[in-house]
Structure 1
Amino acid sequence: MNLLDVEQLVHNLSDLKFLVIGDLLLDKYLFGDSQRISPEAPIPVVDILREEVRLGGAGNVANNLAVLGCGVEVVSVVGTDPEGMQLKGLLQRQGIRGDGVLCVSARVTPCKTRILASNQQMLRLDREECFAIAPSQETQLLDFVRQVVPNVDVVVISDYQKGVLTDHLLGRLIECCASADCPVIADPKGDDFSRYQGVSLLTPNHKEVELASATKINSPEVLISVGQSLQQKLNLGALLVTRGKDGMSLFVSDQPPDHLPTEARDIYDVTGAGDTVLAFCAVGLANGFSVLKSAMLANIAAGIVVGKVGTSTVSAAEVLMAAIDRDQSGSGKVLFPEQLDIVIAGHRQAGKTIVFTNGCFDLLHAGHIKYLQRARELGDLLVLGLNSDASIRRLKGETRPLLCQTERAQILAALDCVDYVTVFAEDTPLELIRLVKPDVLAKGGDYSPEQVVGREYVESYGGTLVLVEFQKGKSTTNIIEEVLTRYRD
């Protein structure tokens, strides 16, 4: 999977539709600070500072898809207790359709409460009663699935063994999807994987595979043997084994296994990582990716989500930025305006201060470097708009530029002080400034504020213009004249 695949996927996300079936959980987080030990017992005292509630279980899978802008419908059973009502409200708030969620008075909605201090989990409290839903409820869920499955791209099964996905219901669901020619992928639980026989893709983790196969996987050879055996025995379209720090292994019939190294940089919290893998595998398949490309996409997303605290999601902008960083062409900082739009949105969501400047930067010299370094110091990242070759010819004549736009962009992208470079073809960067919407507009000190293109627009939403002094005597024109003087016959 390459950068172009991810770009194409990002543009298609809003057209993809999913049905998520499984156990809905409510995840509660109590964030606090711990500076002392209780006098009553040798335990830390946590002073609670704030509380959060999040969608967990199948809800986290659905939320991962909704955050990407996909259409999502959920099928499940919850109680009529406060936790169940909170879950319904969270679904609605996230734009996830919950018409297929039954509310049953006799059911306790599973709830996990995590207490954290300095973003480290101190304790988890679980409140749940795990018993199978009634046959009448199975029938209601299955009838709903039959109605909506012809209109979705992929059905996603998220099993947390809380009682919604009974053996009977699972079997009928898989049959229903097969009849509708709709791919179905599942994240399993328990020691009996035969319940998921015939799914398009199964995504267990390493420990779950050991449990289901009753085999200790202590070598690559054992992993391959067990993986291939399960894939064939269960008649799976594919088996994707997630292996934590060791990455992922994909098993497809009549093909050698593919091993994907982990994409994680900093592993902070693995809570919900399996949900993210499941969601992004579904996105890849719905977009027409092969199973291998879908697994690669999920691997990138998992590498992002484990760097976050608690049950979290991954945005399209984050995936695109990660794909740009790993792009083997080495041009990860040189973006088209459409790419830049999505990437900047991700940085803005993260609260970064965005600085923009522009210019020709033909024959890069020390004056340029000092200017760009000073501009970068004005914020958290610097976006550089680079005049195209054609626009420079219109500005400076047919003998310029000396270096083509591709070379100029690559040289600028090699600078640590420049975060992103994009080429614009217009005579002024106004349209690019409107796209980036920078917090700070930087321009050379040889301009007056009235002369700076985009100043009024940036100031209209509270941004600022900063004039940065150029180093005197340093210019491309001077360098050209010096070369001509020295080497003139």
Structure 2
Amino acid sequence: MHNSPKVLVVGDLMIDHYLWGSANRISPEAPVQVVDIDKETTVLGGAGNVVNNLRALGCEVSVISVVGDDDVAHELKSMLDAIDTKSYLVKEDERKTSKKSRIIASHSQVVRYDKESKENITKSSESEVLKNFSTLCAEVDIVLLSDYGKGVLTTSLTKDIINIAKSKNKKVLVDPKGLDYSKYSGAYLLTPNKKEAQEASGINITDDNSLVDALKKLKDVAKLDISLITLSEDGIAIFDDKLIMRPTVAREVYDVTGAGDTVLASLGYSLASGKDIVSALEFANLAAGVVVGKLGSATATIDEIEHYRASINKTSIDAHIKSFEELKIQVERLKKLGKKIVFTNGCFDILHRGHVSYLDIAKSYGDVLILGLNSDASVRKLKGESRPINSEEDRAFVLSALESVDFVTVFSDETPYELIKMVEPDVLVKGGDYEGKEVVGSDIAREVKLVQFVDGKSTTKTIAKIQSCEC
């Protein structure tokens, strides 16, 4: 099995450009919002997102495309160089390199405007692409075609590429566009979604029987080895003499942007690594489950996929217990969604009414409550060698089952300062006994709240009562 499969991508490269800001007023010139821009970001889009996904998986990637002789093309080349991708970009003087700009105000897209050429590339460019492809094809393990309908993958060029690849025994995987899939005749597989498959096959997919009919039709039209359709939350279906379905494994779906690119890249990675189609299918489903849990066009690393594979075997309670790194990812996601984060910490040994009341009040101060739980070792330092009564695993599990607690993470430091620094909560909550005292992390949080304990309820008193047998 290859550790670093060599993958060749051919398709429509573009830049996804984001302008982030806030909209608090209406223009006096027209009934439209005025967006005050705070920051600007750019990422690789189109076939570039496939490249990004492949690089995240550790593949050696080469990409062939056609661009304009403009500033966007130069920027695109620099972005590819920055992720160690070999790029073979054919330039056309009159062509505009694709750039899609989105204005985002308060996490909502206000408008998108595109600057691009969509007409087919010239015959001269086709010849140049084919020349590069013929040279590179023998050196790679698999070929991926990312067709965004922007004119690079013309019908004649696509057919020539597939024929050359097949002559060198290279599998060709295609993310298709349009209605005529005979354009991709001879590919190993295509990755249309349900809507695209219905339009291309002319079959309305309503059940397993119509799904099989559509898969068979596409397999016949494009002379595929494997027929595949992605089914969003229902997973991925393939037809390889029989119907094989793998349901989605996403726990939480936040954004499906770029999920198709991830499926194409992860299937390519798996097959180039020597996996069979069913194993590749399962891997692609896991990778898609990771990226739809992120915002924007995203990628999934091998480590993230393996963590995710382990997490889906956890109970729903276990899923709320996060490592430091897992929590960091969740915090970044929550902040992008504009959620108000509340943080508290403690030992929470022998859970009682006072704890539950305290956590319920803490949660009321925001949208998400993150609880830093003292490890067994740190509890011993604070409370003595006889404590804790319950292990950190047991304490974390019980706390994660509470409706008020969203995430629990165990920390071993004497104070939760480093954890608070990572979370940067909007609200930091501590017990009423901190009145007049310095609260660790108060220099980081925007606000500190003190919650009074329920009178007469404490772990120490519970232990004393048990020891005195007054129960």
Q: TM-score, normalised by structure 2?
A: 0.73
> 1:3 corresponds to which residue?
none
Q: Are positions 1:479 and 2:465 aligned together?
A: no
AA aligned opposite 2:297: T
Counterpart-to-counterpart distance in 1, 2:414 and 2:112: 55
Q: Measure the CA separation in 2 of the matches of 1:21 and 1:418.
A: 47
Q: Return the alpha-carbon distance in structure 1 between the equivalents of residues 418 and 254 of structure 2.
A: 36
1:129 aligns with 2:135: no
SS at match of 2:64: strand
Distance 1:17 1:443 in 2: 53
Aligned residue in 2 for 1:329 = 315
- Structure 2 distance, partners of 1:77, 1:108, is 10
Within the alignment, does 1:100 sit opposite 2:85 as a pair? Answer: no
The 1:377–1:222 alpha-carbon spacing in structure 2 relative to 1, beyond 3 Å, is: closer
The alpha-carbon deviation at position 399 of structure 1 amounts to 5.0
Distance 2:153 2:80 in 1: 20
Deviation at 1:69, TM superposition (A): 8.4
| Cα displacement (A) at 1:27 | 5.8
CA–CA distance in 2 between the matches of 1:339 and 1:197? 43
Residues 1:162 and 2:150 aligned together: yes
Determine helix, strand or coil for the equivalent of 2:90: strand
For structure 2, the 5+ residue unaligned runs are none
Would you say the 8 A contact 1:63–1:313 is kept in 2?
no
Alpha-carbon shift at residue 478 of structure 1 (Å): 1.0
Alpha-carbon contact 1:355-1:382 (below 8 Å) kept: yes
Q: 1:467 to 1:326 in 2, by over 3 A?
A: same
- What is the RMSD of the two structures over their aligned residues, measured on CA atoms? 5.0
CA distance in 2, matches of 1:99, 1:23: 13
Note the C-alpha offset of 1:242: 2.7
Which sits farther off after the overlay, 354-363 or 123-132?
Answer: 123-132
Instruction: Establish whether residue 142 from structure 1 lines up as the match of residue 128 from structure 2.
Output: no
Instruction: Specify the alignment match of 1:204 in structure 2.
Output: 192
Contact 1:26 1:111 in 2 (8 A): yes
Q: Give CA-to-partner distance per residue, 1:144-183, whole Å, 9 cap, x none.
A: 6348636xxx543101343322456445645666688766
Distance 2:8 2:32 in 1: 40
Q: 1:333, 1:420 within 8 Å by CA — same for their partners in 2? A: yes
- In 2, Cα distance between equivalents of 1:64 and 1:362: 43
Cα pair 1:336 1:422 within 8 Å, conserved: yes
Equivalent residue number for residue 421 of structure 1 = 408
Contact 1:355 1:438 in 2 (8 A): no
Find the aligned partners of 2:169 and 2:336 in 1 and give their Cα distance: 38
Match of 1:381 in 2: 368
Q: What is the SS of the residue equivalent to 1:479?
A: helix
Structure-2 separation of matches of 1:392 and 1:52: 44
Equivalences for residues 101-250 of structure 1 within 5 A: 101-110=89-98, 119=109, 127-134=117-124, 135-143=126-134, 145-146=136-137, 149=140, 155-167=143-155, 169-170=157-158, 173-174=161-162, 184-197=172-185, 199-217=187-205, 219-228=207-216, 230-231=218-219, 236=224, 238-243=226-231, 247-250=234-237
Shift of 1:203: 0.2
Aligned residue for 2:464, secondary structure, equals helix
The answer to whether the 8 Å contact 1:356/1:442 transfers is yes
- Letter of the 1:20 counterpart: V
Q: Taking structure 1 as reference, are residues 371 and 68 closer, same or farther at Cα in structure 2, changes over 3 Å only?
A: farther
How far, CA to CA, are the matches of 2:72 and 2:356 in structure 1?
57
> What percent identity do the matched residue pairs reach?
37
**Deviation string for 1:299-346 (max 9, x for gaps)?**
5357557xx6xxx313559x8798898655221101234433443344
SS at match of 1:407: helix
How many residue pairs match? The answer is 455
Q: What are the equivalent positions in structure 2 for 1:405-484 lying under 5 Å apart? A: 405-424=392-411, 426=412, 428-429=414-415, 433=419, 436-439=422-425, 442-446=429-433, 455=440, 458=441, 468-484=451-467
* 1:314 aligned partner: 298
Following superposition, the deviation at residue 185 of structure 1 comes to: 2.5
Conserved? CA contact 1:281–1:298, under 8 Å: no
**Between 109-118 and 75-84, the greater mean CA deviation after superposition:** 109-118
Could you tell me whether the CA contact under 8 Å between 1:358 and 1:386 is conserved in 2?
Answer: yes
Contact 1:23 1:161 in 2 (8 A): yes
Q: Which amino acid aligns with 2:286?
A: L
**Contact 2:15-2:44 within 8 A present in 1 as well:** yes
2:181 corresponds to which letter in structure 1?
Answer: F
* TM value normalised by structure 1: 0.70
Give the AA of the match of 1:62: V
Higher mean C-alpha deviation, range 471-480 or range 124-133: 124-133
Q: What is the CA–CA distance in structure 2 between the aligned matches of 1:329 and 1:462, rounded to whole Å?
A: 32
